[in-house]
Amino acid sequence: MKAPKLTAIILTYNEEQHLPRCLASLDGVVDSILVVDCFSTDKTVFLAENNGAKVIQHSWTNQSTQFNWALSQTETTEWILRLDADEYLTPELQSEIRGKLSSMGNDIEGIFCGRQMIFQGRLIKHGGLFPIRVLRLFRYGKGQCEKRWMDEHIKVPGPTADFKGNIIDHNLNSLSWWIDKHNHYASREAVDLLNLRYKFMPHDSIATFSLRPGSGSKRWIKENIYANLPNGFRAFAYFFYRYIIRCGFLDGQEGMTFHFLQGFWYRFLVDAKIAEVEQYMKKTGCSATRAIKEILFINVQPTST
């Protein structure tokens, strides 16, 4: 049976450190690679083109907008693989894609795989986080990225299948870089949580009530349980759940750093930003969208002022 054409889409900005590893994991797996670059100032574009990828540059709004724009620029293909530049495919997932994609029934519109994370050189195994099931393979024309400011996922309307292999997220930048990135992430996540309260944007979500661990069930818990807990307290509760109840302490020193920073500091920072926006709204009487622009410096293209 002839293998279907598969195109990988990678969004980049100054990813010269990670991109060669990512592209190497796609060798012999995909037919073409589209790199959508946000005007990198390092060797990202050179490395991408030197490894046979097609590069298009496009200004940045957020991950969701950039990826959906990339889909509109994709040439004729049958399947799309979404991959971040600091991620790579395991040999098991490479083998599954090469061997099983051609046998997918015509009704299958998306394929889930696992996603694992390496933090400061250590594979995070505890805390109830990884491997998480994510939809990264989908039929061209069937999938689209959620229209969100943070934690966006691919959604398809039809049936899906599962591969056992994993995508590894292994960022090699410093802890200072990680903290700065998550400060920006916290502003974007604050926008999505504020939207649950004030509904200034359409709500686009893959949230699904399910006992099966995955991105859909995780999103349902976040939107229907976590979001309704008191600001600040929920960060403590979430960290306690991850680090104590789900045994995050078994991930050692690196795991303690990761679970504390990502499971408590980051979540508390999100809540602090939400509180600051709401205090500004109360003080000035302005809308949520205006307060977000003034406090978080994010223009969410408000429907009202």
The number of angstroms, rounded, from the C-alpha of 156 to the middle of its chain's C-alpha atoms is 16
- 202-233 exposure pattern, b = at least 16 Cβ within 10 A, e = fewer: eeebbbeeeeeebbbbbbbebbeebeeeeeee
Mean pLDDT by 10 residues, the chain (305 residues): 89 98 97 98 98 96 95 94 98 97 94 98 96 96 92 93 98 98 96 93 74 70 84 94 97 98 97 98 96 96 46
DSSP H or E stretch at residue 235: helix 233-240
Bridge partners of residue 112, in order along the sequence: 135, 162
As given in the structure block, the two tokens for residue 172 are: 């090699």
State if pTM tops 0.75: yes
At residue 222, the pLDDT reads 80
Domains of the chain by start residue, with CATH: 6-170 (3.90.550.10), 175-295 (no CATH)
127's CB contacts (< 8 A; 6+ apart) are 242, 243, 246, 247, 248, 251, 255, 259, 263
DSSP 127-177: SS-SSEEEEEEEETTT-EE---SSS--EE-SS-EEEEEEEEEEE--S-HHH
- Measured in degrees and rounded to the nearest 5, phi and psi for residue 173 equal -75, 170
Give helix 266-284 / helix 233-240 axis angle, nearest 10°: 170
Peptide bond between residue 131 and the one before it cis (omega within 30 degrees of 0)? yes
DSSP 18-46: THHHHHHHHTTT-SEEEEEES--SSSHHH
Name the amino acid, one letter, at 293: K
Q: CB–CB of 144/154 below 8 Å?
A: yes
Instruction: Give the per-residue pLDDT at 209.
Output: 65
In degrees to the nearest 10, what's the CA dihedral of 272, 277, 283, 287?
A: -160
- The predicted-structure confidence for 33-82, as pLDDT tens digits, reads as follows 999 999 999 999 999 999 999 999 999 999 999 999 999 999 889 999 99
pLDDT of residue 304: 38
Nearest 5 degrees, angle CA 233-CA 239-CA 245?
A: 120
Question: Tokens 């994510």 sit at which residue?
Answer: 134
